[in-house]
């Protein structure tokens, strides 16, 4: 951790310590050139401001850091994030904690956000959403012995605090439902391949197919970002195959909406031509036409329990169960019917 002070920054930037303080407080009368010089000096020295001097005495900011894995614009398109945030805020409010959110466009930006929060002592603990395989942010937080919790699971450490679903079993259940409906050609639309949740769900899909002695055709596997527009891309890859799927397991309800629309534009319909089962059970999935069969993963409870676990850790409470699994359930609606082929 850097031991640089405001005086060190001022000296390197060629300004007074009071000017550095005004830059940190975003004073409107400081020129852009001065701001740039001060920030360059801070970066050179590895200086991270402590925005709450009071926390040096109390050693508590009563604030939790939430590192969002994408830009805020992308995140709030998907109702999953607002619902999980609702759960987080519900518990944080009861415990008199605030949430400091930071969004990022890349893994490097996520790491920088964590550095600012930790090195500047802005927060008492960190919440990481959608952890990656071999995640350097997890390594960094462990290195500093800083309290954190994953909404998801770690593939590298067994002792990390996690709140998660059994995503492998959830995808197995979704796939098995389609198999029970007589489908033998089942495609899969995944999330980003570097995420642990994507790996787990793909494994569950494959397990269900293998158990039923059904093929897992690589041409039916589509990786996609969890955004509505990705549904259009996913279906375009399989529409012209000689033997296309009669059903899909889809990583997210929002992607399912896009898939349904693209199928309709191509002259196909759900569920008459293609059955689908997706994940999350957001409110709109029941209002869709047709209503979407989906895996309810308990989004609100994921957020609520994630914050609860982190605050227990910060408080020094002995945690005998570092990994909590939130139950899931399959909700069958009109988008999945018996195969006619």
1-47 shares its CATH topology with 167-296: no
Architecture, CATH, for domain 167-296: 3-Layer(aba) Sandwich (3.40)
User: Which band of pLDDT confidence, cut at 50, 70 and 90, is reported for residue 56?
Assistant: very low
For residue 148, what are the β-bridge partners?
126
- Listed in sequence order, the DSSP H helices in the chain are 6-13, 17-24, 32-45, 54-58, 72-75, 79-94, 107-119, 136-143, 167-180, 196-211, 228-238, 253-265, 283-287, 299-314
C-alpha–C-alpha distance, residues 125 and 118, integer Å? 8
Provide the pLDDT for residue 54: 41
Element (H, E) at 201: helix 196-211
Question: Which one has a higher pLDDT value, 99 or 121?
Answer: 99
Residue 32's pLDDT band (cuts 50, 70, 90): confident
pLDDT digits (tens, 9 = 90+) for 229-260: 556 666 777 777 888 899 999 998 988 888 88
| Per-residue pLDDT tens over the stretch 80-96 | 999 999 999 999 999 99
Query: Is the Cβ–Cβ distance between 292 and 278 less than 8 Å?
Result: yes
Q: Where are the domains of the chain?
A: 1-47, 167-296
- CATH class held by domain 1-47: mainly alpha
């Amino acid at each position: 951790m850097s031991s640089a002070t405001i005086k060190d920054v001022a000296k390197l930037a060629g300004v007074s310590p009071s000017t550095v303080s005004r830059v940190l407080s975003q004073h409107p009368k400081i020129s852009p050139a001065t701001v740039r010089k001060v920030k360059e000096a801070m970066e050179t020295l590895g200086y991270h401001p402590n925005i709450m001097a009071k926390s040096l005495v109390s050693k508590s900011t009563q604030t939790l850091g939430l590192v969002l894995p994408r830009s805020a614009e992308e995140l709030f398109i998907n109702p999953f994030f607002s619902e999980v945030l609702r759960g987080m805020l519900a518990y944080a409010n009861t415990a008199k904690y605030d949430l400091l959110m930071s969004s990022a466009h890349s893994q490097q930006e996520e790491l920088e956000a964590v550095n600012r929060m930790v090195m500047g002592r802005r927060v008492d603990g960190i919440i990481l959403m959608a952890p990656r395989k071999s995640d350097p942010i997890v390594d960094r937080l462990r290195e500093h012995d800083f309290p954190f919790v994953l909404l998801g699971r770690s593939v590298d450490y067994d002792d990390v605090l996690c709140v998660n679903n059994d995503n492998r079993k959830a995808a197995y259940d979704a796939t098995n439902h389609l198999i029970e409906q007589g489908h033998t050609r089942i495609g899969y639309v995944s999330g980003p391949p570097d995420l642990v949740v994507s790996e787990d769900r793909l494994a569950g899909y494959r397990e269900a197919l293998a158990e039923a002695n059904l093929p897992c055709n690589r041409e039916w596997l589509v990786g996609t970002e969890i955004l509505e527009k990705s549904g259009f891309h996913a279906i375009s890859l399989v529409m012209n195959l000689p033997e296309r799927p009669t059903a899909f397991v889809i990583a997210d309800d929002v992607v399912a909406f896009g898939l349904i629309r693209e199928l309709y534009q191509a002259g196909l319909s759900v569920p008459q031509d293609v059955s689908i089962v997706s994940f999350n059970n957001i409110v709109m999935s029941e209002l869709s036409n047709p209503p979407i069969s989906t895996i309810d993963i308990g989004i609100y409870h994921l957020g609520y329990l994630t914050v609860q676990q982190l605050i227990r850790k910060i408080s020094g409470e002995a945690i005998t169960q570092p990994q909590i699994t939130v139950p899931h359930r399959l909700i069958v609606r009109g988008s999945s019917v018996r195969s006619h082929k």
